[in-house]
């Protein structure tokens, strides 16, 4: 299924996007976000700037730049949150704008050793906690 850029939450920067996540900032070819649902403490997302449906639609240079942004965010996540592992998810079944979910996993945390859940709806933070998280990620990313 291909989504229409005019209806895409990443392209339109709509309220649904802002209800789900907080923008950290713009990277070389993408935007980085912190998820509001924080069952996996420090969970972030990286969305490609342009509306493409899948990683395989990018040429080598575009793909390499996007993946460099993904790695840049995971390195910042490691510095800020110190997870045991970061799980990567790029599903796009219902929203075919290229994006990667980055879910930190901790040994004694939820679903360690298994697949992270998309939006469990279990953990939400206070506004000041989100602000600190975003600020720390911006600093780690050099933004």
- The average pLDDT across 34-38 equals 98
Tell me the helix, strand and coil percentages in the chain, rounded to 5: 35, 20, 45
According to the model, what pLDDT value does residue 1 have? 58
Mean pLDDT of the chain: 95
pLDDT (tens digit, 9 = 90+) per residue, 50-71? 999 999 999 999 999 999 999 9
Which of 21-35, 49-63, 86-100 has the weakest average pLDDT?
86-100
pLDDT (tens digit, 9 = 90+) per residue, 97-124? 999 999 999 999 999 999 999 889 999 9
**Residue 23 clears pLDDT 80, i.e. is over it:** yes
Assessment of whether the complete model's pTM goes beyond 0.85: yes
Task: Write the CB contacts of 1 (distance below 8 Å, at least 6 apart in sequence).
Answer: 93, 94, 96
**Residue 5 clears pLDDT 80, i.e. is over it:** yes
Task: Write the CB contacts of 85 (distance below 8 Å, at least 6 apart in sequence).
Answer: 104, 105
CA distance 68 to 74: 10
Domain coordinates in residue numbering, the chain: 5-141
CA distances in angstroms from 116 to 16, 52, 81, 109, listed in the order given: 21, 24, 17, 11
Which secondary structure element, helix H or strand E, spans residue 9, and what is its range?
Answer: helix 9-12
Domain 5-141, CATH 3.30.300.20 — does that match? no
């Amino acid at each position: 299924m291909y989504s229409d850029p005019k209806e895409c939450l990443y392209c339109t920067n709509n309220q649904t996007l802002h209800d789900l996540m907080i923008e950290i900032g713009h990277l070389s070819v993408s935007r980085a976000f912190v998820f509001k649902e924080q069952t996996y403490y420090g969970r972030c997302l990286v969305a490609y700037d342009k509306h493409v449906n899948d990683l395989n639609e990018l040429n080598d240079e575009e793909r390499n730049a996007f993946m460099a942004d993904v790695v840049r965010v995971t390195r910042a996540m490691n510095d800020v949150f110190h997870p045991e592992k970061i799980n990567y998810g790029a599903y796009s079944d219902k929203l075919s704008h290229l994006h990667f979910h980055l879910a930190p996993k901790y040994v004694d945390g939820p679903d360690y050793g298994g697949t992270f859940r998309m939006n469990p709806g279990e953990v939400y933070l206070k506004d000041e906690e989100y602000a600190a998280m975003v600020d720390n990620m911006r600093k780690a990313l050099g933004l």
